[in-house]
Amino acid sequence: MTRLMHIVGARPNFMKVAPVMRAGRAHAGLEQVLVHTGQHYDPAMSDSFFNDLQLPPPDVNLGVGSGTHAQQTARIILDFEPVLDQYKPDWLVVYGDVNSTIATALVASKKGVKVAHVEAGLRSRDRSMPEEINRLLTDQLADLLLTPSRDGDANLLAEGIPQERIRFVGNVMVDTLLHLRGKARELGMPARHGVEGMPYAVCTFHRPSNVDRPEPLREILGALDDLAGRMPVVFPIHPRTRQRIAEFGLQDLARRVTLLDPLGYLETVGLVERSTLVLTDSGGLQEETTVLGVPCLTARPNTERPVTVTEGTNRLVASRRSEIDAAVAEVLAAIESGAYAPRQPEGWDGRAGERVIAALAG
């Protein structure tokens, strides 16, 4: 019996673990343990994803909550050690690039527990992003690096990681998207939000570089206000962004935008699938819009997901009102030409979870 311990902590982890655990359940000889660090704890940021994705309740929830990066990472490290001692897994399986990923990988690697990293090798080359630090360090620690796209393999090789530790498996998030897309459509999200049959935009912003200082947040909200003059703009808002808008006194700029509480997974996919365009700084939405064929403007100077630009619908844009306005105008003009057909980069085929399990189960 091989025991896998899967680690989740924050919203973008949940859709990545779901297809891997599903494939693991279908494989005889595997035992699976799910640990939630509790980095995200609001029902809308956590519980609703467990329901939508039909994830089993976690075997352990560390309940670490929010804090500075040091506080949060340190709490996870301290609280996770006895859990690892208790369950003694053969593999620790970590996902993506959040603080829970690096914190638990560090504990396991020092205790001689093998670490597998799902979504290895992505690089923005921007060390001001906390996620980039988490990606670099987790990949140095991991024994098995499971990459979602070929650029991941190339990045790891360039950092001196031996080929034997690298396995291209494709994108597990896409497994979830393809699996649940029909169910998401059944929710009738556009009708629920009064935008059925009309052009509308969906946006999400939560990166510290965009929302933790007033200037970029003001620029982005200004652009959303401009767009709201042309079509409805629906903005499911991360708790951190809502706090910042209030703190910086920017509520007036968001007046014409429809602000919603954070949406669940199915609700988000149901809304994005029928939208005219997406404006975001999320990692996952860059990938989901590529698969759904929805044009995406990403307000960041770089991306760790370059295939969404070279092979998909994504385009990077500065967090400046005038630049976002100009990019929106170009996207709206280009839609007519059919430039935004759905794309499936290599390995984004709905079978990545099975390939992760095949790599772990031997």
Of 39 and 290, the one with the shorter C-beta distance to ligand UD1 is: 39
Which residue pairs from 39-42 have beta carbons closer than 8 angstroms and sit at least 24 positions apart in sequence? 39/9, 39/10, 39/64, 39/65, 39/66, 39/72, 39/76, 39/98, 39/99, 39/100, 40/9, 40/10, 40/11, 41/65, 41/66, 42/239, 42/262
Is 206 a catalytic site residue? yes
Stretch that binds ligand UD1, among 7-15, 86-94, 165-173, 188-196 (CB under 6 A): 7-15
E strand or H helix at 146, and its extent? strand 144-147
Q: How many CB atoms lie within 10 A of CB 46?
A: 22
Give the closest residue to 200 by CA, choosing from 251, 240, 241, 260: 260
Least distance in angstroms from the C-beta of 103 to ligand UD1: 9
CB 278 within 8 A of CB 203: yes
Stretch that binds ligand UD1, among 17-25, 234-242, 289-297, 345-353 (CB under 6 A): 234-242
* 67 or 188: CB nearest ligand UD1: 67
CB 52 within 8 A of CB 79: no
- Per annotation, catalytic residue among 6, 40, 117, 206: 206
Considering only the stretches 113-121, 233-241, 312-320, 353-361, report the one whose residues sit in contact with ligand UD1 under the rule CB under 6 A: 233-241
Q: Name residue, tokens 């560390």.
A: 62
**Contact pick of 11, 123, 244, 274 for ligand UD1 (by CB under 6 A):** 11
Site for ligand UD1 in 41-80 (CB under 6 A): 41-42, 45, 66, 72
The CB-of-164 to ligand UD1 minimum distance in angstroms stands at 29
Token pair belonging to 175: 């497994």
Query: Which region, judged by CB under 6 A, interacts with ligand UD1, from 48-56, 97-105, 174-182, 217-225?
Result: 97-105
Looking at beta carbons only, is 99 or 268 nearer to ligand UD1? 99
| Residue 112: Cβ-neighbour burial (10 angstroms; 0-12, 13-18, 19+) | exposed
Selected binder of ligand UD1 within 6, 12, 20, 155 (CB under 6 A) = 12
Give the residue numbers marked as catalytic.
Answer: 206
Binding site for ligand UD1 (CB under 6 A): 10-12, 39-42, 45, 66, 72, 97-99, 130-131, 206, 238-240
